Amino acid sequence: MDDPKRIVASGYDAIAETYRDWVEAETWPRLEWLALLEAELPDGSEVLGLGCGAGVPVTRALAARHRVTGVDISARQVELARENVPGGTFLQGDALELDLPQADAVVSLYMSGHIPPGEQQELVRRVGSCLRPGGMLLMTFPQEGGPGTVEEDWLGAPMYFAGDDAATSLARVRRSGLEILRSEVVTQLEFGDETRFLWVLARRTGS
- pLDDT tens for residues 112-148? 999 999 999 999 999 999 999 999 999 999 987 688 9
* Residue 134 to residue 160: CA distance in whole angstroms: 33
- For residues 159 and 58, the answer to whether their CB atoms sit within 8 Å is no
- For residues 11 and 41, the answer to whether their CB atoms sit within 8 Å is no
Q: What pLDDT, on a 0 to 100 scale, did the predictor assign at position 206? A: 79
Q: What pLDDT, on a 0 to 100 scale, did the predictor assign at position 189? A: 84
Does pLDDT of 78 surpass 80? Answer: yes
For 206, half-sphere exposure in the C-beta direction (CA atoms, 13 angstrom radius) is 10
Does pLDDT of 1 surpass 60? Answer: no
Assign residue 90 the CATH number of its domain. 3.40.50.150
- CA 128, 57, 60, 16 dihedral sign is positive
Q: Identify the DSSP state of 73.
A: S
Domain residue limits at 128 = 4-204
Amino acid at 94: D
* Residue 112 to residue 90: CA distance in whole angstroms: 19
Give the model confidence (pLDDT) of 81-120 as tens digits.
Answer: 999 999 999 999 999 999 999 999 999 999 999 999 999 9
Domain count, the chain: 1
Does residue 12 sit in helix, strand or coil?
helix
* Residue 205 to residue 134: CA distance in whole angstroms: 6
Q: What pLDDT, on a 0 to 100 scale, did the predictor assign at position 134? A: 97
- For residues 37 and 207, the answer to whether their CB atoms sit within 8 Å is no
- What residues contact residue 97 under an 8 Å CB cut-off, 6+ apart? none
Q: What pLDDT, on a 0 to 100 scale, did the predictor assign at position 105? A: 98
- What residues contact residue 183 under an 8 Å CB cut-off, 6+ apart? 166, 170, 198, 199, 200, 201
Q: How many CB atoms are located within 10 Å of the residue 162 CB?
A: 21
- What residues contact residue 5 under an 8 Å CB cut-off, 6+ apart? 73, 94, 114, 116, 160
Give the model confidence (pLDDT) of 145-194 as tens digits.
Answer: 688 999 999 999 999 999 999 999 999 999 999 999 999 999 988 877 88
